[in-house]
Chains A and B, each alone.
Chain A
């Protein structure tokens, strides 16, 4: 879908490049996560891909054609979900949706999407009366309004309660199953783990790591199993190498003879990998 080659970008008033020679690909029908702490160039990269920023060096190909040659029809094919609410607050949700629907050649059935996201009954309310979560859900409807081929989502579940976050994630999965491609930017590693086929971690304007979540966990994880078991009145803990575990007599004896409390493989979580790869102690 997208091929990015040697992309470099500098804001006119900055001395240093914000994007420092990055190359990656977003394949048709995948959910690609672009991750990293604030200020490393994720938003800038996304804004280049949606033609909000020009004046970059390098090459950005969309469907094999240079992005620079696409005109306004390009936006018929993409949907952009912003992190912050982007609605006319004194218009109702329905008026907002109707206005944007008219700008596109094709539309989805917004009523069913509103119903699914729990906004249908409030569609005639002014957006200024909406809670933050409702505005975020309406952002999602806005992004999907034109039935896009490519969806850009910036923190789509941030600020949502767990049940609404679940619904949004289900819709994203269904969108992918129907052939849609997604670029997901988020700090929530659970979402990444659940949704993304591949992820790229950005640090200081560069891509520090790019792979599937599973491969990254294997690469950065320890190949060990940790067991907690009862020993007399107390609890003991012991680690074993994951390789040839089935032939490890000590391990086999332990699980046969002791009362096991927990057993965990020691693979890293994406949170751990995020911190290792991007070099931050906590999320900004």
Chain B
């Protein structure tokens, strides 16, 4: 697996050089700004919401951006004729993504510990970030497969946010209170993601957390399989000229 670590290092190096790291730090600073200016001392319930935004949308975006750069610059071609497997390639992108999401969590958690009040299980939310980020990195891969360029990717992401994230947030803020709607939400992955993240605050029943864990894990396995299978088709499309 030595090439796996070379690929992760390469991903992180390129994220720095292509200013993706800067953008990621900037987003983290926005989250810190929100925590700073919000007129609430105990931010225990706010951190999972901010992490929810970060670990879902940033995970999709980071995978998409790096993937599209590789497509545009043709480097995917030369990577495809290197001694790496597609599993290593896909996982390296995911792991470097997770590292960035963990970085955002640590910044937010550290700030809250120093300047605000926060009572959540750090290791529980760390585990949740890893699962949610992994799942949404896979979503990012799929969106990229069907995107011609960066604009297309952003459109795909906006559709995902509108269809899957907005209803969950509306329910979370008690804007939508209908019971049937609340139950229907359990079929979408973003509800399971938020449940997992909020589970670290101790505010959820254990069975709901376990169902969410299983949902995300099985969802990730299925998505990984699809991404893995579709990768050949993507490679072939890249290979035609």
| Contacts from A to B (Cβ < 8 Å) | 11-12, 43-44, 47, 50-54, 71-76, 78, 80, 82, 84-91, 95, 99-100, 102-105, 142
Contacts and interface: CB of A to CB of B under 8 A. Distances in A.
B92 to A, nearest CB: 11
B180 interface: no
A146 to B, nearest CB: 8
Interface residues of B, number: 25
A85 B73 CA distance: 8
Interface in B39-83: 73-75, 77-78, 80-83
A89 B71 CA distance: 12
Nearest to B69: A88
Interface in B180-232: 232
B83 A142 contact: no
Contact of B6 (A85, A102, A142): A102
A86 B73 contact: yes
Contact of A103 (B18, B73, B74, B84): B84
A235 B42 CA distance: 103
Contacts of A85: 73-74
A147 to B, nearest CB: 13
A103 B13 contact: no
A100 B13 contact: no
Among B73, B81, B232, B240, find the residue whose CB has the most chain A CB atoms closer than 10 A.
B81
Nearest to A80: B81
Contacts of B240: 11, 43-44, 47
Contact of B17 (A43, A78, A84, A88): A88
19 contacts: A43-B239, A44-B240, A47-B239, A52-B80, A52-B81, A72-B83, A74-B83, A75-B81, A75-B83, A75-B84, A80-B81, A82-B77, A84-B74, A84-B241, A90-B18, A91-B13, A91-B17, A102-B3, A102-B6
A54 B81 CA distance: 14
A72 B232 contact: no
B236 A88 contact: no
Given A80-B81, A82-B74, A87-B75, 16 more contacts: A11-B236, A51-B81, A52-B80, A52-B81, A53-B239, A75-B84, A86-B73, A86-B78, A87-B73, A88-B17, A89-B73, A90-B17, A95-B17, A102-B3, A103-B82, A103-B83
A89 to B, nearest CB: 6
A90 B14 CA distance: 8
Contact of B83 (A44, A52, A73): A73
A105 B241 CA distance: 30
Interface string B81-109: 11111000000000000000000000000
Interface in B1-48: 3, 6, 10, 13-14, 17-18
B236 A99 contact: no
Q: Ordered nearest first, which 5 A-B pairs have the shortest CB separation?
A: A86-B78, A75-B83, A86-B74, A52-B239, A80-B81
Contacts of A86: 73-75, 77-78
A98 B233 CA distance: 29
B82 A75 contact: yes
A99 B70 CA distance: 14
A86 B240 CA distance: 15
A88 B83 contact: no
B236 A52 contact: yes
B163 interface: no
Contacts of B241: 43, 84
Given A52-B236, A82-B74, A85-B74, A99 B83 contact: no
B155 interface: no
Contact of B236 (A53, A80, A84): A53
Contact of B82 (A90, A95, A100): A100
Contacts of A90: 14, 17-18
A72 B2 CA distance: 13
